[in-house]
Amino acid sequence: MKCSNCDKEYPSGFYFSTPSICTECFDKLPPEQQAALQEESRDFKREREEGKPYPVLRTIAVIYKILAVLSVIGGFIGLVVGIVLFASGDFDKAWAVAAISIFYGTMGLISSLAISEGIGLLLEVENNSRINRKLITSLLNNLKKA
């Protein structure tokens, strides 16, 4: 990572007080400017320490993706059973098992992926809202100074 003030390279975000200013440069700033950057640096440190927010929702989204794969596998197994029944001469059961397996496998895939993507979309909306709040707060602080 590179400091925008002194252009020094650092191995990680540990050496930064804000997303773009290293701790050394931050300590050299006037107190007024440090105060303006305090909220930004608090959010930055919190995100750096916590990682991505809402880990449980991300886990649920992954579980739904796994369920989608399992639905396809189940549908495929049902289709194979239908083909075996068809080969044994039981045409009525074969068509029913194959059609139902394909239908429910497809519906399980579509619904599980839709739920997983919906959760991902909500997480991205929350992330964008948080970023916009930071930018608007920063803009308002800059306008107050001017």
Task: Tell me the DSSP string of 56-122.
Answer: HHHHHHHHHHHHHHHHHHHHHHHHHHHHHHHHHT-HHHHHHHHHHHHHHHHHHHHHHHHHHHHHHHH
Using pLDDT thresholds of 50, 70 and 90, give the confidence band for residue 81.
Answer: very high
Mean residue pLDDT of the chain comes to 86
Q: Is the pLDDT of residue 115 over 80?
A: yes
Cβ-based neighbours of 52, under 8 Å, separated by 6 or more:
58
Mean pLDDT of 21-41: 78
Q: Which range in 18-32, 84-98, 103-117 is most confidently predicted, on average pLDDT?
A: 103-117
Residue type, 52: K
Using pLDDT thresholds of 50, 70 and 90, give the confidence band for residue 24.
Answer: confident
The pTM for the full model equals 0.61
Using pLDDT thresholds of 50, 70 and 90, give the confidence band for residue 49.
Answer: low
The pLDDT of residue 35: 77
Q: Is the pLDDT of residue 96 over 80?
A: yes
